[in-house]
Amino acid sequence: MQKIKSAFLTLALAGATMASGLAAAADVSQGAQTVAIGAGSAFFGHSFAAANVGNTFSDRFNFTVGALSNLGSQVSTFSPGISDGIKITGLTLFNSGGLSLGGTKILDGTADLWTLGTGHLAADSYYLLVSGELLNAQSSSYSATVTVTTLAVPEPATYGMLLGGLGLLGFLARRKSAA
């Protein structure tokens, strides 16, 4: 009788473990999107239909930087009348080599806000990964922005003028010390 109870408990535990695996959250990510940064800024986001409570997402937004640049980005959610609609769990920047830079959580709750900023991005292909979880059965969305500003690179003539000016200052300093 003891062996039958043990076997039954083992089967019950195995069934509960398999059932909990079936109840895992679904991934409601959208496919990779390309963001066109025309005038230096772009807006993007994702709207989710109702009845997605407990589901997760990891949305990828691709863009290209053509010259040495600075980048600023933010992701925000606001769920009016709901305690929590979407919980943003990450904002990460990746380059073509897989190197990443994580964002910073500013607000968490009814409104979520994440920011990410970096300077001196080389010309390359990049993507922003926005990840999170849907906490409410109502429809909800998040919005994001990315701003890329090209850094001014001095022309060769500027360096020539700088060297000429330093030479002139050296000549004047030497002449003054000789007098």
Domains of the chain, each with CATH number or no CATH: 27-151 (2.60.120.380)
Can you tell me which residue has the tokens 């473990």?
17
Section 169-177 average pLDDT:
82
Whole-model pTM over 0.75: no
- Assign residue 98 a region (left: φ > 0; alpha: ψ between -120 and 50; beta: otherwise): left
Q: How far apart are CA 160 and CA 120, in angstroms?
A: 24
**C-beta of residue 24 within 8 angstroms of C-beta of residue 107:** no
> Is pLDDT larger for residue 17 or for residue 150?
150
Answer yes or no: are the C-beta atoms of 100 and 94 closer than 8 Å. Answer: yes
What confidence tens digit (pLDDT) does each residue in 52-86 have?
Answer: 889 999 999 999 998 899 999 999 997 666 667 88
* 138 touches 85 (CB < 8 A): yes
Residue for token pair 């890329």: 148
pLDDT value at residue 169: 81
Output the pLDDT for position 20. Answer: 43
- Tokens for 96, please give them: 């073509």
DSSP 97: T
